[in-house]
Amino acid sequence: MSLSRHNGILNIEDCAVPALAEQFGTPLYVYSRAAIESAWRAYDQAFADRDHLICYAVKANGSLAILQLLARLGSGFDIVSGGELARVMEAGGDPGRVVFSGVGKTEAEIVQALDVGILAFNVESEAELERIAAIALRKGLEAPVSLRVNPDVDARTHPYISTGLKENKFGIDIHRAEAIYRQAAAMPGIRVTGLDFHIGSQLTELDPLADALSRSLSLVDRLGDTGIGLAHLDIGGGLGIRYEDEQPPTPADLAERLAPLLADRPQRLLMEPGRALVGEAGLLLTRVEYLKPGHRDFAIVDAAMTDLLRPALYDAWQRIENAEPVDAEPRLYDIVGPVCESADTLGRARSLALVPGALLAIHGAGAYGFVMASQYNARPRPAEVLVDGDRAHLIRERESLEALWSGERLLEMP
């Protein structure tokens, strides 16, 4: 993260955080261009000795300017909806570097992806395979597909973001995958190109991922013995970031751990990092509106679960600190928002020096922050700013009140 302090004032790259809050208002998402590009290059350099493609997971943060930065670096993209595909293309992304994941692809989304020529569909069920084949045949095309296999590996992460166990909705049981590959290879309208797995998010150890790859490579070998050769292996994403005291592995650690398994493998290697590229590149800035002492001391801020859902959804912990010095004694505060839900808590029992108007910075907000924001309680969504050195670019305007009912219609009443 490109953060520093000067005279007690928090800076992101060469921009003072309080000045950004003053200029653009709060709540405010702020991202570092340098941090995003550095994280992407760490992956690119770690796997430089083999043919690879980094497919950024758009679901982590789909802001157009961030997609644009990554597209200019040569990134591919991992999408889970037609809307994400449209965003990638609007930002200048190459559809030929896009893999389409997700368990519920609609007919319209499949048509959209075929029309623009994506790299591959990551197929998650037999029913989806049949639908893609029928649509491709109708259009006179061949759909490039890889099967997303479920290797039944415990990623040892939060159950809501675990995706590689047989009880999860994702992927095809690895024990049934060989038969489905043979079926796919014989289907008109289908061109089998690869194998994909993704076992979960916020991984802090590599053994589960290596175990999933080993199981998948055994399947690849059996397929090769039957004449089904694969052009790529997609190992998914999921490397964690540091929210509190985690020590997640680096891309270099990942490359070193997988190197013996991938030695002499001719397939192109695909990977789908999301949080690891943008998570630590972002802050959410928020101001204290009221201090409310009592059985618990509450600091009521202008950001809410509508702006940052992770704490309410996952009971997630994200570091919160003062963005500038405050003349007050530190106390333990629960940092809460104005939404009418007790779940609207951004941090519990945080030692902070606070007064009304104090500016706080919530760390690790670059991933699954704005992208999960809502308008609940009729709250306009915050602005987003991208910092590049000493320049701050407004990449999304603060939502207006009128935008809250855009597209709605009043009844024609007599």
The pLDDT tens digits for 41-75 are 999 999 999 999 999 999 999 999 999 999 999 99
299: domain CATH number is: 2.40.37.10
Q: Give the per-residue pLDDT at 277.
A: 98
199 lies in the same domain as 288:
no
Where the chain has pLDDT below 70, the residues are 1, 154-169
DSSP 272-307: --SHHHHGGGEEEEEEEEEEE-SSS-EEEES--TTT
Confirm or deny that 275 is annotated as ligand binding: yes
Domain boundary among 247, 271, 295: 271
19 lies in the same domain as 161:
no
Q: Give the per-residue pLDDT at 153.
A: 77
223 lies in the same domain as 349:
no
pLDDT digits (tens, 9 = 90+) for 356-397: 999 999 999 999 999 999 999 999 999 999 999 999 999 999
Confirm or deny that 407 is annotated as ligand binding: no
Catalytic annotation, pick one of 340, 401, 410, 411: 340
Q: Give the per-residue pLDDT at 257.
A: 96
What is the number of structural domains in the chain? 2
Q: Give the per-residue pLDDT at 43.
A: 97
Q: Give the per-residue pLDDT at 161.
A: 41
Confirm or deny that 8 is annotated as ligand binding: no
Q: Give the per-residue pLDDT at 151.
A: 85
Confirm or deny that 272 is annotated as ligand binding: yes
Tell me which residue of 291, 313, 289 sits closest to 369, measured CA to CA. 313
Cα dist from 11 to 109, 115, 284, whole Å: 42, 45, 13
242 lies in the same domain as 369:
no
Confirm or deny that 273 is annotated as ligand binding: yes
Query: Is position 243 within any domain?
Result: yes
237 lies in the same domain as 284:
no
Residue 317, amino acid:
W
Q: Give the per-residue pLDDT at 159.
A: 52
Q: Give the per-residue pLDDT at 165.
A: 45
Cα dist from 330 to 10, 233, 243, 293, 346, whole Å: 18, 51, 22, 13, 18
Query: Does the annotation count 340 as an active-site position?
Result: yes
CA distance 100 to 112: 11
Query: Is position 65 within any domain?
Result: no
Query: Is position 76 within any domain?
Result: no
Q: Considering the entire predicted model, what is its pTM?
A: 0.94
Burial category of 40 from C-beta neighbours within 10 Å (exposed 0-12, middle 13-18, buried 19 and up): buried
Residue 89, amino acid:
M
Residue 153 domain boundaries? 102-271
231 lies in the same domain as 146:
yes
